[in-house]
Structure 1
Amino acid sequence: MTSSMMQPGFVTGRAARGAALAAALLVACPPLAQAQGMRGSIGGGPAAQPAATQAPTVAPVPAPAGTLSESVAAIVNDEIISTYDLAQRMRLLIATSGVQPTQQNLPQFQREALVSLVDEQLQLQELRSQARQQKMDLVATNEEVESELASMAQQNNMRPEQFVNALRAQGIDPETLYQQIRAQMSWQRWIRGRYGSRLRIGDDQINATLQRLQAAASKPQYQVSEVFIDANRVGGMQNAVQGATQLVAQMQQGAPFAAVARQFSASGTAANGGDAGWISPGELPPEVDAALEQLRPGQLSQPIPVRDGVYIVHLRDKRAGGGGTLINLKQAAVPLPAGASAGDEAAAKVKLEAVRAAATGCSDLEQAAGRTQGVIAGDLGEAEIADLSDQFRQAAQGLQVGQLSEPIRTSAGLHVLAVCGRRAAGESQLNRDEIESRLYGQQLSMIARRYMRDLRGSATIETR
């Protein structure tokens, strides 16, 4: 048995053990992710899944006689990861990613499984070290893990015992999932607790983001799901490109994008199945922008190499930018037929003037109208200003947000308009709180990635 120092995230697979794992892991049963769309460790959402053909069935490979002997797969700072641990994590990865195992992609599963196990070992070692220094518990308890598992089962309309039995039916020891949940819960809580309170998103950052979104309002926008393969994590750009190529092939054959993103993506969007929402040019690397320009809604990209890894994107929808203006309106009105008398119109105007005097803007227009008999009020929603009737358009163009119009006569009655919002067509509807939350999440994700990079760099990791 030989050993080698492990580059950050690099797996040195041995041919003999790889053949044994292939025989043990090539199974004909459908992956859990395709059948149930499980969250987190078990997942797949229809919103992010590109149109695809039926995945081909892979003929089962007979398992070798007897039980696969357990040996050392890796040593992480003197702690062992066994070949049993590795085989079980590969089974879990296959079941939850929706990717059909083949002889060609099993090395990628082995690489990803071992990288994940090594990372989790490093995380738990760091948490225990910090716990000793701070004299507090940082690792999730059995009760917390069971609660998370119950939540996952509930989202799949299953009881916890049914969920566990579904794992066992695929040859997966439930302890494999428990350990993954324990490491993920504990690490996320530690990162947020240690760094979250220190992060400050300033007004200048929020204003800069708002200005960028407003400037991009006239440009096309893309609704995107993403998978990002971190080259540093998987042992170099060649491994990242090779792995991304195999994932694209599997997704084209039916593997759910969201499930693949949850298990393979290093992006902060992985927990949401890779959903990056609506983005404008400039939010992702230029190479990704160029690829998005060539895609049609529903299409999946080929691997897109960037400076530090490889992207796969699924373009779910696209909308053109424009120079138009969208306006959000409310109204208070008194219904009047076209042939109403001057006296009726005058009486209706008095009522609406009373509403205008009592209301301060959109927030209390309906309350003010409700106190005046014969006046009705409601939300007209958002519309392109050019699509409004002539009377409404002329009034709305001269109003600022929060202002109320003079009474407007139409064939339906007398109306007072309130402008509740105005934005450029195509402009993001994110408010300041939502922008702050997005920036906070991005910075926290970046800190976590750097933390893990440092832990890998200072660790002693051997593979056998």
Structure 2
Amino acid sequence: MRRLFLFSALLLVLVGLPVSGKAQDGGMQRIAAVVNDDVITVLDLEARLYMIVVTSQLPDSAELRQRLRPQILQSLIQEKLRLQEAKRLDVTISDAEILDGFSRLEKQNKTPPGSFVKFLQAKGIDLEIAKSQVRGDLAWFQVIARTIEPKVIVGSQEIELELNQLRNNLGRPQNLVAEIFLPVDSPARDGEMSALAQKLEQQIRGGASFQSLARQFSQSPTAALGGDLGWVFKGQLAAELENVLDSLSPSQMSSPVRSLTGYHILLLRDRRVSDQAKLGDIKLTLSQLYLPTDGAAVLTEDKRREIALRASEAKSCPVFDALATEYELSSSGPSGVLAATDLPENVRKVLLSLPENKASPAVPVTGADVIFMVCKREEPNLLPSSEAVAERLKRDRVDILARRKLRELQRAAIIDIRL
């Protein structure tokens, strides 16, 4: 009890209330919100607020706390909803799992084992407050693992489309990006999220840690990694985000950007152009059908359509090459092994995404149209594995469905906010 009283007294000082029994009973023990049958007290709110201010290295001021309270209260409400759903599904989180969560946080921050608990104790933060937040996160992860992840299937065509896009982007600029994402789940919360995004931007520009604020406030799956999105090619993000990234230099941060789903604060950590030598490591064994568009050997339009149709029906290079002989096409047949960098850009763009043993559309070159077939492709260590691509696509889809589930829980709940 003495420890609780000391912590309550500290929080009363933080919010500028006089430390007295009457203030404690009438102030800190007041109800901030009721979520179905669960109560969130002002003490709960102020304790969580103080922990976030300290762990995020934010300057402690009355104005900042006033700005953050609505968002922190919403986070506590969502935490209650997550825990209630976990209880309904008989999901429980042990103390050992929570301490393991602390350990992962220490590894991410590259700090010694046990340092997180020592830090909280040194700042006068009750360990139960941190445990409560981690318990809510871990319980929700298990809820999602049981109810959503088994239903999300990523098809082979989706994986191949993503790999094709990555192939086409080889040799093009990449951005190393981190983000803080604040979703706008309803028009009524747009102003609140906009104000919070602007406040977070202000704090980061004033010296607060981007990574710490991302961990506490971002609603993206990357939050646990300090907002790190990793290396992304142009075209992988929404157009409005790409346009902002194009205007940034490495180490620069954007102002809040509104997308269809919410507000983003982007940090361009670095920029690079994919090593052209790596593009040269892609080796393609090719065959081709050369269809002249001028000169004495030019083909009629009907003949060109006939050859293109026959080529599209070919399922192997030997069958494809036989068409060169059948139609007496010069400069046609096997072309040997070529590096991707040896091909004209318009040809390379088509062939990098072309599956093996499938005819390409006719590609215009000087004096002819050429139909290609990739007989064999060698691309060592240039692209992520199909499994890695499938995992990322699944993770993105699960995140969208998890946020939808939380919105549904919130709509179905009886929530009484009393502040």
**TM-score class normalised by the smaller sequence:** 0.5 to 0.7
Q: CA RMSD in A?
A: 3.2
Residue in 1 aligned with 2:191?
Answer: 238
Q: How does 1:129-208 map to 2 (within 5 A)?
A: 129-131=88-90, 138-152=91-105, 157-158=111-112, 160=114, 163-208=116-161
Contact 2:278–2:382 (CA<8 Å) still a contact in 1?
no
Fraction of identical pairs, as percent: 29
Sort the Cα spacing of 1:249 and 1:194 in 2 relative to 1 into closer, same or farther, 3 A. Answer: same
Equivalent residue runs for 1:62-141 within 5 Å: 64-66=18-20, 68=24, 69=27, 70-131=29-90, 138-141=91-94
Distance in 2 between the 1:311 and 1:146 partners? Answer: 31
Deviations 1:379-411 (A, max 9, x none): xxxx9979xxxxxxxxxxxxxxxxxxxxxxxxx
Hey, what's the Cα distance between the residues in 1 that align with 2:415 and 2:162?
41
In the other structure, the counterpart of 1:302 is 255
Contact 1:229–1:309 under 8 Å retained in 2: yes
Give the equivalent residue in structure 2 for 1:5.
none
The code of the aligned residue for 1:25 comes to: L
- 2:10 and 2:413 mapped to 1: Cα distance? 27
State the 1:25 CA deviation.
3.0
- The 8 Å contact of residues 178 and 230 in structure 2, kept in 1 or not, is answered as yes
When you count helix as a share of all residues, which structure comes out higher? 2
CA 1:289 to 1:147, structure 2 compared with 1: closer, same or farther past 3 Å? Answer: closer
Match 1:441 to one of 370, 374, 395 = 395
TM superposition shift of 1:198: 2.8
In structure 1, distance between residues paired with 2:116 and 2:251: 32
Residue 211 of structure 1 aligns to a residue whose secondary structure is helix
The verdict on how the C-alpha distance between 1:157 and 1:459 changes in structure 2, with shifts beyond 3 A counting, is same
After TM superposition, the structure 1 stretch with the greater mean CA deviation from structure 2, 147-156 or 80-89, is: 147-156
Q: Classify the secondary structure of the residue corresponding to 1:119.
A: helix
Corresponding residue for 1:460?
414
Number of aligned positions between the proteins: 316
CA deviations over 1:172-221 (Å, ceiling 9, x no partner): 21111111111111110221133223322111010111122223335432
1:30-74 deviation line (CA, Å, top 9, x unaligned): xxxxxxxxxxxxxxxxxxxxxxxxxxxxxxxx6623364311000
Residue deviations 1:137-177 (CA, integer Å, cap 9, x gap)? x12123322343355457664454x6434213323211111
Judged with a 3 Å threshold, the aligned counterparts in structure 2 of structure 1 residues 163 and 289 are, in CA distance, closer, same or farther, namely: closer
TM-score (norm 2): 0.68
Q: Distance in 1 between matches of 2:77 and 2:192?
A: 17
Distance in 2 of aligned mates of 1:271 and 1:201: 24
Match of 1:284, SS?
coil
Cα distance in 1, alignment partners of residues 257 and 79 from structure 2: 28
Show the counterpart of 1:289. Answer: 242
Structure 1 residue 92 displacement after superposition: 1.4
When residues 214 and 188 of structure 1 are mapped into structure 2, their CA distance, relative to the original with a 3 A threshold, is same
Q: TM-score, normalised by structure 1?
A: 0.62
Q: Tell me the secondary structure at the aligned position of residue 310 of structure 1.
A: strand
The 3 A distance-change label for structure 1 pair 420 and 285 is closer
Q: Does the Cα contact within 8 Å between 1:88 and 1:176 map onto a contact in 2?
A: yes
Structure 2, unpaired ranges of 5+: 1-8, 283-338, 343-375
Which of the numbers 222, 227, 237 marks the counterpart of 1:269? 222
Q: What's the secondary structure of 1:266's corresponding residue? A: coil
**Distance change >3 Å, CA 63–CA 77, structure 1 → 2:** closer
1:327 and 1:220, CA in 2 relative to 1: closer, same or farther beyond 3 A? closer
Q: Which runs of 5+ in 1 are unaligned?
A: 1-19, 27-61, 132-137, 330-382, 387-418
**Residues of 1 paired with 2:275 and 2:134: CA distance?**
45
On the 8 A contact 1:94/1:109 being kept in 2, the answer is no
Q: Give the Å deviation of 1:277.
A: 1.0
Q: C-alpha offsets along residues 430-450 of structure 1, whole Å, 9 cap, x if unaligned? A: 221211111111111112111
